[in-house]
């Protein structure tokens, strides 16, 4: 569960104790770095203002809960986000920003999170979006995203129809198939308002007060644990409606090379933190289907960025080729028929093999940021 903007970097754990708290007042303008202290009920920035261009947020979690940091535009579109920041941990988020009013949000699970205004002024000295090669890269990936959503809609409808006629076995078989398109482009999809909460919230994920649990994982629990409930058909219809809403809105999502790089790294973070411990599909144990779709999604990002990668960092593309092959070999070893083994049937050795190959790819993905902005 859970596009965020130029590569999410894992930075060394910060020494939090004894640090002086930065202020929220706009100090000197900077187009390089803003430090963020994310508490359980606070979001404190070292500066409330920056110049347009490439900007890095170094986010340190000074609270007791796992948190996330996001930057929203004035229309509440997510232009950059980094998740799963553990206590006393620092993570980096790099974004490319035009002038305008933004909101920084630190969200450790509470409804709207702690919010701080942030202003960007001036114009970027080299707006990468206007370069023909980069425009082509973004357009190629945008076509991939739209194609995945267009495939997601009928698959989700098929899954929902099985739920509505109480065909449990068919619904179970369709569950991981229906999710594939979502998992390939999940970071982009999550930039569309509250779609992620509606479609992919897990039972343990906090929702706004009074918010109903809907989406894939609610139906997953119905199918594998509780049995289909009286409101399961309505939940299935709601899921289809939310996926169609995503389809209607995705064409209007503005993408930048920074988002592609960050989205790739974010997928790896999610694989490492959620998929490789079996914490995504905790009732169906179909996590390997999701993991495979995540890897396919990263492949699409790298394929789109490849002309830029090969020009800026000639060693990175061949490294990706080899590492994708390693991951695929491990995943292929866990195939069962047209799908994958249940995650609960994997041994610790199986999981360790997968973790080694995924983590190697993740380290390479961290270099995408420099490749698209240098």
Q: Please say if the pLDDT value at position 64 is more than 60.
A: yes
Contact in structure between 85 and 68 (CB atoms under 8 Å): yes
Q: How far apart are CA 248 and CA 251, in angstroms?
A: 7
Region 282-304: mean pLDDT is: 93
In this predicted structure, what is the pLDDT of residue 206?
64
Cβ atoms within 10 A of the Cβ of 46, count?
Answer: 18
Q: Please say if the pLDDT value at position 57 is more than 80.
A: yes
Q: How far apart are CA 218 and CA 282, in angstroms?
A: 11
In this predicted structure, what is the pLDDT of residue 128?
42
Residues 6+ apart with CB under 8 A from 162: 170, 171, 174
3-state secondary structure of 306: helix
Region 211-231: mean pLDDT is: 95
Where does residue 102 fall: left (phi above 0), alpha (psi -120 to 50 degrees), or beta otherwise?
A: beta
Q: Please say if the pLDDT value at position 155 is more than 80.
A: yes
- Residue 88's closest CA among 72, 65, 104? 65
In this predicted structure, what is the pLDDT of residue 374?
61
Q: Can you list the positions of beta strands (E) in the chain? A: 9-10, 33-38, 43-45, 49-51, 53-61, 67-73, 78-85, 90-97, 100-106, 114-121, 335-336, 339-340
The tokens for 102 are 């933004």
Q: How far apart are CA 119 and CA 52, in angstroms?
A: 9
Per-residue confidence band for 207, with pLDDT thresholds at 50, 70 and 90: low
Contacts of residues 168-175 at CB distance under 8 Å and 24 or more positions apart, as own/partner, are 168/223, 168/228, 171/219, 171/223, 172/223, 172/224, 172/284, 175/216, 175/219, 175/220, 175/223, 175/284, 175/286
Region 168-196: mean pLDDT is: 90
In this predicted structure, what is the pLDDT of residue 191?
75
Query: What share of the chain has pLDDT > 70, as a percent?
Result: 86
Please report the domains of the chain, with CATH numbers, ordered by start residue: 9-126 (2.60.40.420), 132-373 (1.20.1420.20)
Region 35-59: mean pLDDT is: 90
Residue of 315 and 374 predicted with greater confidence = 315
In this predicted structure, what is the pLDDT of residue 21?
31
Q: How far apart are CA 86 and CA 83, in angstroms?
A: 9
Q: Please say if the pLDDT value at position 1 is more than 90.
A: no
Q: How far apart are CA 62 and CA 87, in angstroms?
A: 6
Query: What share of the chain has pLDDT > 90, as a percent?
Result: 48
- Residue 236's closest CA among 180, 138, 137, 162? 162
> DSSP per residue over 246-268, as a string?
HHHHHTT----HHHHHHHHHHHH
Region 163-171: mean pLDDT is: 98
Region 271-284: mean pLDDT is: 88
Q: Please say if the pLDDT value at position 284 is more than 80.
A: yes
Task: Say if strands 33-38 and 53-61 run parallel, antiparallel, or are unpaired.
Answer: parallel
Q: What is the mean pLDDT of the chain?
A: 83
Q: Please say if the pLDDT value at position 33 is more than 70.
A: yes
Per-residue confidence band for 199, with pLDDT thresholds at 50, 70 and 90: very high
- Residue 211's closest CA among 65, 109, 105, 111? 111
DSSP state of 12: P
Region 221-229: mean pLDDT is: 97
Region 85-112: mean pLDDT is: 82
Q: Please say if the pLDDT value at position 343 is more than 80.
A: yes
Contact in structure between 58 and 33 (CB atoms under 8 Å): yes
């Amino acid at each position: 569960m859970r596009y965020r903007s130029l590569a999410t970097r894992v930075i060394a754990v910060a020494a939090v104790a004894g640090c002086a708290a930065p202020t929220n007042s706009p100090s000197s303008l900077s187009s390089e770095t803003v430090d963020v202290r994310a508490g359980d009920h606070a979001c404190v920035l070292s500066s409330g203002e920056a110049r347009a261009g490439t900007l890095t947020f170094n986010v340190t979690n000074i609270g007791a809960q796992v948190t996330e940091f996001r930057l929203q535009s004035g229309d509440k579109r997510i232009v950059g986000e980094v998740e799963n920041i553990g206590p006393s941990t620092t993570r980096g988020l790099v974004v490319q920003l035009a002038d305008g009013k933004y909101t920084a949000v630190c969200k450790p699970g509470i409804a709207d999170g702690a919010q701080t205004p942030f202003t960007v002024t001036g114009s970027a000295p080299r707006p990468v979006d206007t370069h023909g090669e980069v425009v082509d890269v973004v357009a190629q990936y945008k076509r991939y995203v739209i194609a995945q959503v267009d495939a997601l809609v009928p698959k989700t409808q098929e899954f929902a129809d099985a739920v509505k006629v109480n065909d449990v076995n068919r619904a179970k078989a369709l569950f991981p198939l229906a999710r594939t398109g979502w998992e390939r482009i999940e970071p982009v999809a999550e930039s569309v308002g509250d779609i992620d909460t509606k479609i992919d919230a897990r039972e343990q994920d906090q929702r706004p007060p009074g918010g109903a649990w809907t989406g894939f994982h609610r139906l997953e629990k119905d199918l594998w644990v509780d049995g289909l409930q009286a409101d399961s058909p309505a939940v299935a219809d709601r899921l289809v409606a939310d996926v169609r809403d995503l389809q209607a809105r995705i064409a209007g999502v503005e993408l930048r090379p920074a988002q592609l790089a960050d989205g790739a790294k974010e997928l790896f973070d999610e694989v490492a933190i959620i998929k490789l411990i079996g914490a995504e599909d905790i009732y169906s144990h179909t996590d390997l289907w999701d993991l495979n779709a995540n890897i396919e999604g990263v492949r699409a990002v790298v394929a789109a960025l490849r002309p830029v990668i090969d020009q800026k960092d000639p060693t990175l593309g061949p490294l990706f080729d080899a590492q994708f092959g390693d991951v695929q070999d491990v995943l292929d070893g866990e195939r069962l028929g047209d799908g994958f083994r249940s995650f609960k049937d994997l041994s610790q050795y199986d999981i360790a093999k997968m973790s080694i190959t995924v983590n190697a790819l993740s380290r390479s993905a961290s270099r995408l940021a420099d490749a698209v902005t240098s």
